[in-house]
Structure 1
């Protein structure tokens, strides 16, 4: 049950990041996120969360 709760929380965080990212990069240089965990999490967050579980 704990793992399911953590997975749901992680998926919610991923959805929030995906929503915020386009607005954040519209005023900043998006190359700052290249090869970063934030970019990996944005692109592969579901896989990262499932692997962590």
Structure 2
């Protein structure tokens, strides 16, 4: 079993601070623990200029 989850992180790109979704592909180890298999950013959403 596995899942795809997302979380918002604050990021700064070219002087612009915003929130970006990072998707996490998760799997379950043999011990029953969640493991991050890979992660990748989604689209950038502007919230303020610095």
Output the TM-score relative to the length of structure 2. 0.23
Q: Which has the larger radius of gyration?
A: 2
Higher fraction of helix: 1
Q: Highest relative contact order (Cα 8 Å, sep 6+), 1 or 2?
A: 1
Higher fraction of strand: 2
